[in-house]
Structure 1
Amino acid sequence: MNAAIRGFAEAESDGIIQVSTGGAAYFSGASVKDMTAGSLGFVAFAREVAKNYGSTSPCTPTTARRTSWIPSYCRCWPPRRPRSRPDVTPSSTRTCGTSAETLDENLRIAAELLQRTSAAKQILEVEIGVVGGEEDGVENAINDKLYSTVEDAMATIQALGTGEQGRYITALTFGNVHGVYKPGGVKLRPEILKDIQAQVGSKVGKDNPFDLVFHGGSGSSEQEIADAVSYGVIKMNIDTDTQYAFTRPVAGHMFTNYDGVLKVDGEVGNKKTYDPRVWGAKAEESMAARVVEAAQQLGSAGKALK
């Protein structure tokens, strides 16, 4: 959390910190694993810490990957009467990642949530299509199902409108996969986004009718990112890249300071090396730098709303 907020601040960029169901459960404590409590704690922590960076309304969306999780998790916010929650801000977003369901069921759930998010002045993110790889125990094969179609996009417009029913952003898939794979293992086709924008736009009378999301952005080339942005992508997820950026300096610290972080041969170790705040600071610095890099690639660096 601190690394992400720091990275946005150093890049002078706005950004979204996203917590999945697994991340929210982890945040609540290993012995508790309450994803609702974890997500609410996540939001409260972010709001307080971000104030030190000049931000008063950090974006903290939640994600649901299975319909069975939505009643307890994705619907825990926003409340039915948003005015009773002064901490709900216009910049908040809510992600409904139910791509594991059929398209019809996915859009039915999204339409219900759009009413709630719109009333709470929040933006809904919907995932249309299948993202390959594994996240939070949900795994999808890497095959032709990873590519959204014009028909998928039109069904989304028919169910959710073009903004008149509430603001939403759309994660159309173009070969997206969670995680990072060796070259050739994943075939991204961002040109699909351009084609969908053009065909759907001509039918609804609106240029680029979708604000798009790039799921599974970790490991993508600069050209793939640039192309996706030019076709309407306004948000990219880089969880795997930030995980590695956080862990890599920790591994280096442990190997370099082996006899300090461990009590070897009856010695007492060195508190200055095994103190989690020491190696944690290195992790934070590294991940913040990765966030800055992403902001620069996406074109948001230096453009934070004031």
Structure 2
Amino acid sequence: MPLVDMRDMLKHAYQNNYAIGGFGLVSLDFLEAIIMTAELCRSPVILNLSEPLFHQHDFGLIMPAVERAAHHAKVPVAIHFDHAKKHESIVQAINLGCNSVMLDVSSETFPVNITQTSRVTEVAHACGTAVEGILGFVGGVEGENAINNLGEVVYTSSEEAKVYVERTKIDFLAVSVGTIHGRQPSRSTKLDFKRLKRINDELDIPLVLHGGSGLVEEQYHKLILNGVAKINCYTELSDIAAAVIRLNIQKSNKKGYIESLCGVKESLQEKIKLYMHLWGSAGRAAEVLIQCRPWQPVEQIIICNVESRYIQQLDTLTEQARKTLATIPGVRQVFSGWALSDSGQYRLCWRIQLAHADVINSYQSHPHYNAFYNQISHSTDPKKINTTFAATLSGTNHQLKESVTA
């Protein structure tokens, strides 16, 4: 099953009164445990990558593994970039393969939150990417991610939420109704369900719960019945993994790194399985897939011939363009190469991978692209091919756009 559009995924959950887990991951052990459990439970799933948890790691190194796991999963998967603090981080996440993003400026004033989130929405939607907004402040008292969200809880206002969604055009809203990031202070955490109902009645869009670890079954059910379609969970998984590692070391302090990790994936799977059944996503994979658009990149191919006097000039252009085109939101990869033989009709090739078909318009109207293409047109034979393709699905060629310049 393909990586799918998270808007379709959460719309199905919202309309059918269940929630999909946004499970946080920081390593391959977490990634494999989440995917394996989702397949076992036949559940759609969201891979949640939180920017604050990657301060000590290169986010770009893990994303190829995350994307590959999503594309090869037997259940619908979406990849969400959580708690980004900068606009530049959002663009990087989209270009690396995330198909949903969230800018967390919840600690800012209401007008600033609207302005900055609106800017993200404009860029992300031009790339086909879903956007989660956050209004109110979900603080934290302990836990790995809570350290980045210290402070008192600020509850989401239904009146502000309506204005916020209308102005920012976000797809989902993370609300603050009493949970915290990290570990809940007790099993009897009080949640403001009346507030949540008012927000849901006003907005009628999927709502998101941050700080989803450690609530009781009745609370989850009430949250879901009042519009929560995505529940984030990381701290509990982190605690489970840490406990298994500590136990392994206690049994023998001579254990190596791999031996210390023994049993981590299995323990994570047990907890994830529990939540998939508790939140109602288990067994929904097939019906969700029918409702979801596949998420796949498209590729622009430009091939042309070059007069000998322009070869050195184009070599310089190639190096510059690789850098500038890669900064355009939605541009994933830039490849250029010369034909191995000079005898062919075409000597120069460009292959530019875009995150989604929706990127095409914003990409081709971007100043960096226009400067690049104008230089290519000036320095090459007028007879060139400029074609954009999507991957073949179910034996059908889904060519999106073709332009042959005579």
Normalising by structure 2, we get a TM-score of 0.57
Q: SS at the partner of 2:180?
A: coil
Which of residues 161, 164, 171 is equivalent to 1:156?
164
Matched residue count:
254
Cα pair distance change 1:277/1:52, threshold 3 Å: farther
Contact 1:4 1:291 in 2 (8 A): yes
C-alpha displacement at 1:278, in angstroms? 3.4
Over aligned residue pairs, what C-alpha RMSD do you find?
2.4
Provide the residue aligned with 1:291 in structure 2: 272
The reply to whether residue 61 of structure 1 matches residue 73 of structure 2 is no
1:253–1:281: structure 2 CA closer, same or farther, 3 Å change rule?
Answer: closer
Letter in 1 for 2:195: I
Shift of 1:244: 1.3
CA distance in structure 2 between the aligned counterparts of 1:124 and 1:139, rounded to whole angstroms: 20
- Alignment of 1:222 with 2:222, yes or no, is no
Distance 2:190 2:152 in 1: 9
Aligned twin of 2:32: 2
**How far apart, CA to CA, are the structure 2 residues paired with 1:142 and 1:300?**
31
Measure, in 1, the Cα distance between the counterparts of 2:241 and 2:167.
40
Is residue 2:227 matched to residue 1:232?
yes
Q: Determine what percentage of the aligned residue pairs are the same residue.
A: 19
Which residue type is aligned with residue 44 of structure 1? P
Q: 1:14 to 1:293 in 2, by over 3 A?
A: same
- Does the CA-based 8 Å contact 2:140-2:146 persist in structure 1? no
| 1:77-88 alignment runs, 5 A limit | 77-78=93-94, 88=97
- Pairing of 1:130-141 with structure 2 (within 5 A): 130-133=137-140, 135=145, 137-141=147-151
Shift of 1:115: 1.6
Does residue 1:14 correspond to 2:22, yes or no?
A: no
Q: Which has the higher helix share?
A: 1
How many angstroms does 1:22 deviate by?
2.5
Q: 2-side partners of 1:253 and 1:236: how far apart?
A: 30
Q: What does residue range 95-244 of structure 1 map to in structure 2 within 5 Å?
A: 95-133=102-140, 135=145, 137-143=147-153, 145=154, 147-161=155-169, 168-183=171-186, 186-198=189-201, 200=202, 209-244=204-239
CA displacement, residues 90-113 of structure 1 (integer Å, 9 cap, x when unaligned):
xx2112222121121112111111
Give unpaired runs (5+ residues) of structure 1: 29-37, 80-86, 162-166, 202-208, 263-273
- TM-score, scaled to structure 1: 0.75
Supply the distance in 1 between the matched residues of 2:80 and 2:149 (Cα, whole angstroms): 21
SS at match of 2:80: coil
CA pair 244-296 structure 1, distance change in 2 beyond 3 A: same
Query: Which letter maps to 1:59?
Result: A
**Cα 1:136/1:60, change in 2 over 3 Å:** farther
Question: 1:160: how far off?
Answer: 2.7
The separation in 2 between residues aligned to 1:10 and 1:71, in whole angstroms, is 37
Task: State the structure with more CA Rg.
Answer: 2
In the aligned structure 2, how far is the partner of 1:184 from the partner of 1:123? Answer: 33
Structure 2 unaligned regions, length at least 5: 1-30, 290-406
**Which structure: greater strand fraction?**
2
- Counterpart contact for 1:128–1:148, Cα < 8 Å: yes
Per-residue CA deviation, residues 54-91 of structure 1 (Å, 9 max, x unaligned), is 36x7422223454xxx1431232435xxxxxxx858xx
Structure 1 48/157 Cα, relative in aligned 2: closer, same or farther at 3 Å? closer
Change (3 A) 1:4 1:184: closer
Q: Could you tell me how far 1:130 is from its partner in structure 2? A: 0.5
Q: Give the superposition deviation at 1:53.
A: 3.4
- Distance in 2, Cα, partners of 1:51 & 1:88: 11
Q: Which amino acid aligns with 2:92?
A: C
Structure 1 distance, partners of 2:187, 2:220, is 17
Q: Distance in 2 between matches of 1:255 and 1:77?
A: 39
Displacement of 1:137: 4.4
